[in-house]
Amino acid sequence: MADDTEKTWGPKHFIQNTPCARNSFLYGMGGGAVGGFAYFLWTSNPRRSYHALMISFTATVLLYWVPCRYQYAQKRIKQRMINRGLKTHIAMQGTPEAELLASAQEPGSKS
């Protein structure tokens, strides 16, 4: 029997631990339901309305997922750059190189 602490892969795990997944699927379900229902009202054909539901679900999920993940990746890149700069700043405190950089950045100094 597997331990409770062991992580298993599954849809619930994916949606809970992946940024943007929850909102993407929720908006996709809503968009799919509206698209399928609207198509059913327009054509009265259940089979084609199901196809419209799946197409609108897929389109909504992808149209929400891609920009959200792109923005998430950009934010992660900026966070890494800030962390690297802070680590460098902390490591250089009190060294002669830090004093040279500080004197070069003072207003009125000519480099």
Query: pLDDT tens track of the chain, all 111 residues?
Result: 455 555 677 878 878 788 888 899 999 999 999 999 999 999 999 999 999 999 999 999 999 999 999 999 999 999 999 999 888 888 888 788 777 777 777 776 554
**For position 108, what pLDDT does the model report?**
61
Residues contacting residue 84 through CB under 8 Å, at least 6 positions apart: none
Alpha-carbon Rg for the chain, nearest whole angstrom, is 26
Instruction: Tell me the whole-structure pTM to 2 decimals.
Output: 0.67
**For position 1, what pLDDT does the model report?**
45
Distance between CA 16 and CA 67 in Å, rounded? 19
- Residue 22: count other Cβ atoms within 10 Å of its Cβ: 13
**For position 31, what pLDDT does the model report?**
93
